[in-house]
Each structure stands twice: as C-alpha cells, then as structure tokens.
Amino acid sequence: MNTTESIGTTYLTETLKRFHGLKDLADRATAQVSEADRFATLHEDDNSIAVIMKHLAGNMRSRWTDFLTSDGEKPDRHRDTEFELYEEDDAEALAARWEAGWRLLFDALEPLTEADLLRTVTIRGEPHTVLAAIQRQLAHYAYHVGQIVMLARHFAGDGWESLTIPKGQSETFNASMRYKPKF
C-alpha cells in the first residue's frame, strides 16, 4: 500500500482489485467445464452457470451505465428475462454480454476519485452513496460468482483444478508465504 494515498483512494484501488479478482475467479472456473455443462442445471428450477452469467451481465449493464447520472435500474432492463435462456443465448452471445458487463463496471469505477465516494446515486429510486452502491454490487457479484464456482466444481468433477489453496495444502502454502531472511 502507498502510505501517501488517502483512505478513499485506497478503497477504490482495493475495490477494483476485488472486482477483477471476482471476474478472474468466474472465468477460471467456467474454463474448466464444457459448454454443455455451462448450460446444465442441478435441478429444473435451478440456474445454470450461463443463466447466472446472463443475470450478472444484465445487472452490470443496468448498474454501471451512466453510473453517476442515472438510476441504476434502467427502464429497459427486464430482470426476469435474465433468468431465462432463449435461442439467441448461445455461448458466444453470453460471453460477449459477460465481457461487456465487466467493461462497463471497470469503465465506471476506474475514473472515480475519493471525492465521488460520498456522492448520491440511485438504484430503483433509492438513494445510495457511491460507496454504498459499490459495496452493494461487490457483495451481489461475490454471491453469484460463488454459485458459478460451486457449479463449475460440481460439473468438472475429478478434473477440477483448485482456484485457490488446494484442499490439504494450507500448511504448505502458509509456510511458503512466511518471511524468510535473505542472509
């Protein structure tokens, strides 16, 4: 951490890292499953990885388009349709929406300054500080990325490659992270 940075600037830097980390986690998880498995569900009423990604992309488009100047729930958003797959919702189209959603998020957050954090934005007519709106979305996306990882882990089965510290490897990982004098 740069000790000359303000807490607001540090918050924005760290938050961007967390959003990038969530995207990376979801991308690495989905890369481990087949296209068919991305569209599969565990139960007929459950969401597939594809549906969760479609929902997140729709949410990102709505929340981050004109983030500081318009309501975060855009009038042309039809949230319920984000949980349905249509003929045009193939892997390529969903991947393009996913990438576009994340680009909107990063394009909205990257120029923010500490002074913006206490500005007011609205979501469904409800006022939020920019800081609160960001936190709301960070928690929402972490929730759904966790679902994506869980589903990908299920469908990958024995072929799953851990995205974090592999089970049973905590001590080895911790030992590798400890300070080692260079003398």
pLDDT in tens, 100-125: 999 999 999 999 999 999 999 999 99
Per-residue pLDDT at 181 exceeds 90 = no
Cβ neighbors of 178 (< 8 A, separation 6 or more) are: none
- The pLDDT tens digits of the residues spanning 50-66 come to 999 999 999 999 999 99
Q: Which CATH superfamily is domain 7-177 in?
A: dinb family like domain (1.20.120.450)
Query: Is residue 27 over pLDDT 90?
Result: yes
pLDDT of 160 reads 95
Domain ranges across the chain: 7-177
Query: How do the residues of the chain divide into helix, strand and coil, expressed in percent and rounded to 5?
Result: 60, 5, 35
Instruction: Note the pTM of the prediction, 2 decimals.
Output: 0.91
Residue 29, pLDDT > 60, answer: yes
Q: What is the rounded CA–CA span in Å between residue 134 and residue 64?
A: 10
Q: Can you tell me the mean pLDDT for 85-114?
A: 97
133 pLDDT above the threshold of 70: yes
